[in-house]
A and B are shown apart, each in its own frame.
Chain A
Amino acid sequence: DTGVSQNPRHKITKRGQNVTFRCDPISEHNRLYWYRQTLGQGPEFLTYFQNEAQLEKSRLLSDRFSAERPKGSFSTLEIQRTEQGDSAMYLCASTFETSFAYEQYFGPGTRLTVT
């Protein structure tokens, strides 16, 4: 397995446009996370899935953001009516959850620039 992949790697869009990002986790991983990272900050949690169920959403995730993981495999994150404040790196991570703490494997990220 080649790890977590994300597409596209870079996206430039105009304010007000919709964008969609895709994340393909490591194949046997049942948990998938979305984070947002801005310059000089650590990753900020947005939402996560266990299989196809979206179990938690951060208060950071406004109504303009929606995420899906339809078959418990890949996931998409859509941002509607983008704003300049949405410019950031969007990171996806996956893990196989066990009873104890577990490492998250991050993808390379999608860098979004809203002009």
Chain B
Amino acid sequence: QQPVQSPQAVILREGEDAVINCSSSKALYSVHWYRQKHGEAPIFLMILLKGGEQKGHDKISASFNEKKQQSSLYLTASQLSYSGTYFCGTHLRRGSQGNLIFGKGTKLSVKP
């Protein structure tokens, strides 16, 4: 049931764009995106609910395609502060008891 993230790692220059994908073999109710810097707690980025919505703030946005059971995180004009490991966490059903199933993460490195 663990979602699969791709790519496993990506290296960018400041100002470049990146896409991180999260795919599930099970139907999803929601997808959560977190960023974790080395030695720190995961920080919440956004939630996408079933319905194919797209969300975003600043230069980070995400989409959720429930038919494909897939979510994508878009980082545009990357900044050095975007470096870290990005995790998607999934809920299989509305009202599920809450635990997220996380992927293995995508390590993003932004170079000057």
Name A's B-contacting residues (CB within 8 A): 4, 31, 33, 40-45, 48, 55-56, 58, 91, 95, 97, 99-109
Contacts and interface: CB of A to CB of B under 8 A. Distances in A.
Interface string B96-108: 0111111111000
Interface in B1-54: 2, 29-30, 32, 34, 40-44, 47, 49
Q: Is the interface of A mostly helix, strand, loop or mixed?
A: loop
A103 B32 contact: yes
Interface of B: 2, 29-30, 32, 34, 40-44, 47, 49, 87, 89, 91, 94-95, 97-105
B47 A45 contact: no
A9 B30 CA distance: 31
Contacts of A107: 41
Nearest to B42: A106
Given A31-B98, A42-B102, A45-B101, A101 B41 contact: no
B50 to A, nearest CB: 9
A111 B14 CA distance: 32
A4 B44 CA distance: 13
19 contacts: A31-B98, A33-B98, A41-B104, A42-B89, A42-B102, A42-B103, A42-B104, A43-B87, A43-B89, A44-B102, A45-B101, A48-B98, A48-B99, A58-B99, A91-B42, A101-B32, A101-B49, A102-B47, A106-B41
B41 A56 contact: no
Contact of B97 (A4, A56, A101): A56
A101 B40 contact: no
Nearest to A106: B41
Most buried by A among B49, B103, B105: B105
A59 to B, nearest CB: 12
B75 to A, nearest CB: 18
B104 A40 contact: yes
A99 B49 CA distance: 12
A47 to B, nearest CB: 8
A1 to B, nearest CB: 15
A43 B42 contact: yes
